Amino acid sequence: MAAERINGKQIVAEIREQISQEVQSLKDKGIQPGLAVVLVGDDPASAVYVRNKAKSCADVGIHSEVYRLPAETSQSELLQLIGKLNADSHIHGILVQLPLPAHINEDAVIDAISPDKDVDCFHPVNVGNLMIGKPGMLPCTPAGVIEVLKKIGISIEGKHAVVVGRSNIVGKPMAMLLLRENATVTVCHSRTPNMEEITKQADILVVAVGRAQMIEARHIKPGAVVIDVGMNRLDNGKLTGDVHYDDAAQVAGYITPVPGCVGPMTITMLLQNTLQAAKNKASQA
């Protein structure tokens, strides 16, 4: 039996409607959540992501400001801008679009963002809070995956979740969030031998590798939930995931399409974090 295709559009629409309502009620109290997005250089993919983020903010009533800086911008100029945004009371979230040009140290830039405004959850303070289970900002892509699982009514507790990929942005925080939801978690990476034997045990399989269509039916336990984080541009210009959709759908119970699920959910979680940062600020006032 073919897998159920997870309707990412519907899930995203439901959550964004909820965010819109909460933004409106904050606005009624005189507070408009604000996000600053900083783009350095002219990477075309980054420019598209930034445009999507700004448009998504507008759709739910969040104020956004995009700072487009030339590729030659120095690290100290960028740090100066971040300092200004940290101090700006209209800005609740700061996002620096990665990757940065090679002459800028990404860690120094991330460390400079105030943890309260770190809506990507890349700052070591927020990463540490996630690790020890303290409340705080959650990283957008992994948080979006957990939301998808909850929205389709999958109980995570006690399940064997396998994450393929161990990046700081997706794989590692994904494993932490699944652990927090009481899954038994295994993480696979490029040095994992016989990966297929491990992925085939997964009730929930999250794939974040960056290799087009590498996960096939043979990697998947019948009935498993397969979440494809991958976004790979093929030579024909089409976007495809890390999972071979048609093949995997023969075996999986549920599967996410690419594009159309984890990507827009990631932006939705960015909106959610910006709203949360504004609410936190309002409650301190």
The window from 5-13, 147-155, 228-236, 244-252 that contacts ligand NDP (CB under 6 A) reads 228-236
Report if residue 169 touches ligand NDP, rule: CB under 6 A: yes
In the complex with ligand NDP, which residue's Cβ is closer, 73 or 97? Answer: 97
Residues that bind ligand NDP (rule: CB under 6 A) add up to a total of 24
The reply to whether 230 sits near ligand NDP by the rule CB under 6 A is yes
Decide: is 188 part of the binding site for ligand NDP (CB under 6 A). yes
**Contact stretch for ligand NDP (CB under 6 A) within 66-74, 178-186, 189-197, 216-224:** 189-197
Q: Residues 118, 120, 203, 242: which is the catalytic one?
A: 120
Instruction: Please count the other Cβ atoms lying within 10 Å of the Cβ belonging to residue 114.
Output: 16
Q: Which of 30, 157, 191, 237 lies at the binding interface for ligand NDP (CB under 6 A)?
A: 191
How many angstroms separate the CA atoms of 174 and 145, rounded? 8
| CA-only gyration radius of the chain, Å | 19
| Contact between 29 and ligand NDP per CB under 6 A | no
Structure tokens at 86: 């940290």
Q: What is the DSSP letter of 223?
A: T
Torsion of CA 278, 116, 148, 194, to 10 degrees: 170
The answer to the question of residue 164 lying near ligand NDP (CB under 6 A) is yes
- For residue 167, say whether it is annotated as part of any ligand binding site: yes
Can residue 208 be called a binding residue for ligand NDP (CB under 6 A)? yes
CA distance 63 to 61: 6
84 is catalytic: no
Task: Determine, following the binding rule CB under 6 A, whether residue 266 of this chain makes contact with ligand NDP.
Answer: yes
Helices (H) and strands (E) in the chain, counts: 10, 11
Instruction: Please state, as a whole number, how many other Cβ atoms lie within 10 Å of the Cβ of residue 123.
Output: 20
| 78 near ligand NDP (CB under 6 A) | no
Both tokens of residue 193? Answer: 């031998």
Whether 97 is catalytic: yes
Closest CA to 266 of 197, 169, 201, 126: 169
Provide the edge-to-edge strand list for the sheet that holds 63-69.
63-69, 34-40, 93-96
| Cβ 230 to ligand NDP shortest distance, Å | 4
Determine how many CB atoms are found less than 10 A away from the CB of residue 187.
18
CA–centroid distance for 279 within its chain: 20
Q: For the purposes of burial, counting CB atoms within 10 Å of the CB of 277, is it exposed (0-12), middle (13-18) or buried (19 or more)? A: buried
Identify the residue among 119, 137, 209, 278 touching ligand NDP (CB under 6 A).
Answer: 209
Judged by CB under 6 A, which of 97, 141, 272, 276 binds ligand NDP?
A: 141
Q: Is 170 in the site for ligand NDP (CB under 6 A)?
A: yes
Stretch that binds ligand NDP, among 91-99, 130-138, 155-163, 186-194 (CB under 6 A): 186-194
User: Least Å distance between CB 190 and ligand NDP?
Assistant: 3
Binding site for ligand NDP (CB under 6 A): 141, 164-167, 169-171, 188-191, 195, 208-211, 229-232, 262-263, 266
Catalytic residues: 53, 97, 120
